[in-house]
Chains A and B, each alone.
Chain A
Amino acid sequence: MDLKLHVWRQKDASDPGSMVEYQAKDVSPDMSFLEMLDVVNESLVQKGEEPIAFDHDCREGICGACGMMINGVAHGPQRGTTTCQLHMRHFNDGDVVYIEPWRSGAFPVLKDLMVDRGAFDRIIQAGGYISVNTGSAPDANEIPVPKQAADTAFEAAACIGCGACVAQCPNGAAQLFTSAKVSHLGLMPQGQPERWRRVRGMVAQMEEEAFGSCSNHLECEAVCPKEISVDFIARMNRDYIKATFKGDDS
């Protein structure tokens, strides 16, 4: 199949950027979306034009590096799928595809489709961990974790930090990302000692970054490649309110 692409090209952070049109010819339905871009890039290099820059690494849908707006939807039309796992069989001959970088002031564009998601790392640094130095852990089976709690914690922990939730949110809010880590650790017995401090720290950092506020559009859940539930946002909000009442020394 042949496609017409409109791709956001931006030389660097200070460049205003613009949409540029490209043709993607002889696209096989078995290609991944990124492989389709690889082929376009090879033809650009052959013509002496600089290839389109985009982040990607594992191409198995787990590292969270890739991500772009495809016809206005983060990671494209298939639910529960990262861009690298989206295959061209979901497109048709003659389709016009608009490809843009994540849309969020908190994720500044570095080049073309590549953005800086350092804000996510800073949110984790503000408390998204359990403080246990190497060597000081008790035997793993000394802390039983009810299966249900472990399973729910896992569902939250499955977040790959890709940023689609922020990109799709009309407010550019990072609640789903933040709540996933708050919930993962807050559901485990190991995470209890720092539970209140953690949620306060992470929420404070989230608000310090250029993210917007959550107003329950639920777009984040709809595009999350790991289908993380917005229930975790409610859970984070409950924890945050409790933590606020408990005061700073909790």
Chain B
Amino acid sequence: MVLDAKIPSGSIATVWDEHRFQMKLVNPANKRKFDIIIVGTGLAGASAAATMAELGYNVKAFCFQDSPRRAHSIAAQGGINAAKNYQNDGDSIYRLFYDTVKGGDYRSREANVYRLAEVSVNIIDQCAAQGVPFAREYGGLLDNRSFGGAQVSRTFYARGQTGQQLLLGAYQALARQIEAGKVTMYPRTEMLDVVNIDGHARGIVTRNLVDGKIETHAGDAVVLATGGYGNVFYLSTNAMGSNVTAAWRAYRRGAFFANPCYTQIHPTCIPVSGEYQSKLTLMSESLRNDGRIWVPEKAGDSRAPNQIPESERDYYLERKYPSFGNLVPRDVASRNAKEVCDQGRGVGPGGLGVYLDFADAIARLGKDTVSARYGNLFEMYEKITGEDPYEVPMRIYPAVHYTMGGLWVDYHLMTTVPGLYAIGEANFSDHGANRLGASALMQGLADGYFILPYTIGDYLAKRMGDKVTTEHPAFAKVQAEVEQRIASLLAINGNRTVDSFHRELGKIMWEHCGMARNKEGLEKAIQLIGDLRQQYWSDVRVLGQSGNVNQDLEKAGRVADFLELAELMCRDALHREESCGGHFRTEHQTPEGEAKRDDENFSYVGAWQHGDGKATLHKEDLDFEYVKLTQRSYK
């Protein structure tokens, strides 16, 4: 099948503007005749729900948390990019576009990325008007900082809690629409399947997480804003509840899954402390602006950090990448940390850590300035590790953080199933093989506030009068399948806990499909995952019933889907015989150990179609008209 992204023709700088005029509009009086289902209420979902309700559509919004304010967007710390050029340092829409395509290692779609950079300026306006308490200069104007991989200061921030403040802005806009009766909110409700009728997405099946009721909801379009799938690794910086189930169920109903192997490993996380560890904590990479990363020069040096003289330290990022230094993109920083640890120069328990040292910054700026910039991060670090980063260097290690892959969408953010949309981290479209810092918040809000509300109208305008209700037999059929699946999980009553399977899956993925991958390891992983999945369905133990709160049952369904996704990730990683961004194949590297792309053969989006027994790969070729393909160099 040829994948058509439906990118309109024209100059990249004007095409979105022109296209907005070309798209069909839904008459204001007709908007209230359409019901939109939005699953997930993080930045993308809440902003989309609020905006579409403001436009007049009827919105039903769903989240598994007890309130939309808890979505994991809230944990983003560092900031949000926008090409405002308030700092007069040479930034522009074109530069943000260029940086994002380059940072994504030339595996993203130019037209989408340009549009993202274009609307980034509107996002800041919108959020400031909502009362988001961004950092300010004394003159009352907005402050900016430079952030991982960028040479201009284009990142807007609210201390170390930008994601929280932006999410609360979107949540409040959503609350206003709930109050106005335009949004019906379903908290503690998990989507377990999508219902297609005549090839169009027409509704979803959900489970109420309080009373266990399986319910059906019909609509004119279904929007998935359900986040990423990093928890397939068990340990990640994602929230405990973050899962792939909604996206995976959509995949099984015909939506293609693109680039599943593109995962971002974030370089500045707190290292693992033991087997009981349930999640990893990220510390904003803004820390790299002032912190210096180093390890002892000699392997096996077990002296305390302040006992190691300057001359016996290796500031390896500054040494290898003199122009970017500690600010190289995330994938480069992560891989280098792994490399020095593999050489036996890692620090802390198990040797899986590197130092992030603020001694120089404190000497240069004073403790107060450092505290004003990073105080809350230092506190968080101290709470978790019991060490004071003002006195001893932090220890950091890379952890799974973000998944660039996701449901394939066209320029309108529609999946291969008409009427089914994917926005935010749940889609694949804007970050290529590696996401730049402070771009996830930007993309989530771009999709939700400024892109989907336009593009969805073009679809709906052609669907006037075509109503279905949950009385349609397709709903009963999917509902029965969902109920059957839950009953099967409860009936196994085996010997192992859900978590024990999840942990084992995570280890397989981290070992073989993590920071560095190769053919042999991936083939082995596929074998191991298949075996584990088989064992899961015969030996997992899920207690209790479906008719009330049952957190184990919730987890069991999610882990079952992770066990399927994991295999697809490995297959995707195996087929992509090149290294690019977060996907590093050890067979494909330059003599200096850098990722080596193969633009001749792999300059495409790999989108997988579900099939019984075997997934089929489809390709969307990526054309680079504006950004010249080069080997990334941060030296």
Contacts and interface: CB of A to CB of B under 8 A. Distances in A.
Interface of A: 11-12, 28-32, 34-35, 38-39, 42, 45-46, 48-51, 53, 55-65, 78, 80-81, 85, 87, 89, 110-111, 114, 116-118, 120-121, 124-126, 128-141, 143-147, 150-151, 153-154, 157-158, 160-161, 184-185, 188, 190-191
B204 to A, nearest CB: 22
Contacts of B71: 63
B128 A137 contact: yes
Given A134-B126, A147-B137, A42 B74 contact: no
A59 B240 contact: yes
Interface stretch (B270-278, B338-346, B425-433, B515-523): B270-278
B129 A114 contact: no
B383 interface: yes
Contact of A134 (B69, B158, B450, B544): B450
B162 to A, nearest CB: 11
B129 A137 contact: yes
Contacts of A126: 179
B126 A137 contact: yes
Nearest to A130: B131
Interface stretch (B23-31, B167-175, B309-317, B472-480): B167-175
Nearest to A56: B240
Given A46-B497, A65-B66, A114 B549 contact: yes
Interface stretch (B138-146, B407-415, B590-598): B138-146
Contacts of A89: 386
Given A30-B274, A60-B380, A146 B176 contact: no
A60 B137 contact: no
Contact of A161 (B69, B141, B159, B383): B69
B548 A12 contact: yes
25 contacts: A28-B276, A31-B274, A45-B541, A49-B543, A50-B543, A51-B552, A57-B72, A59-B240, A59-B279, A60-B75, A60-B282, A60-B380, A118-B67, A121-B67, A130-B131, A134-B449, A136-B129, A140-B134, A144-B141, A147-B140, A151-B133, A154-B133, A157-B158, A190-B128, A191-B131
Interface size band for B: 35 or more
Contacts of A85: 380, 383-384
B67 A120 contact: yes
Interface in B172-226: 172-173, 175-176, 178-179, 185, 187, 210
Given A140-B128, A190-B129, 14 more contacts: A45-B543, A58-B239, A62-B75, A62-B161, A63-B70, A64-B69, A85-B383, A110-B210, A129-B173, A132-B130, A132-B173, A137-B129, A150-B134, A150-B135
A66 to B, nearest CB: 10
B470 interface: no
Contact of A51 (B128, B159, B172, B543): B543
Given A42-B499, A141-B86, A191-B131, A134 B380 contact: no
A45 B493 CA distance: 11
Given A50-B543, A60-B380, A140-B125, A129 B172 contact: yes
Contacts of A42: 497, 499-500
Contact of B497 (A45, A50, A185, A190): A45
B122 interface: yes
Interface in B30-57: 47, 50-51, 54
B122, B125, B127: which has the most chain A beta carbons within 10 Å?
B125
B394 to A, nearest CB: 16
Contacts of A32: 278, 384
Interface in B443-476: 449-450, 453
Given A125-B176, A143-B128, A150-B133, A118 B187 contact: yes
Nearest to B279: A59
A65 B65 contact: yes
B551 interface: yes
Contacts of B74: 58, 62-63
B126 A57 contact: no
A125 B210 CA distance: 22
A55 B551 CA distance: 9
A111 B549 contact: yes
B68, B84, B161, B175: which has the most chain A beta carbons within 10 Å?
B175
A58 B72 contact: yes
A160 to B, nearest CB: 8
B549 A157 contact: no
Contact of A157 (B67, B84, B168, B541): B168
A188 B549 contact: no
A114 to B, nearest CB: 6
B131 A135 contact: no
Nearest to B72: A58
B161 A158 contact: yes
A116 B66 contact: yes
Nearest to B445: A134
Contacts of A130: 129-131, 172
Given A57-B241, A87-B386, A130-B130, A35 B281 contact: no
B243 to A, nearest CB: 11
Contact of A141 (B133, B141, B165, B210): B141
Contacts of B543: 45, 48-51
Nearest to A157: B133
Contacts of A135: 122, 126, 449-450
B173 A12 contact: no
B129, B241, B279, B543: which has the most chain A beta carbons within 10 Å?
B129
Contacts of B69: 64, 121, 124, 161
A124 B175 contact: yes
A35 B276 contact: yes
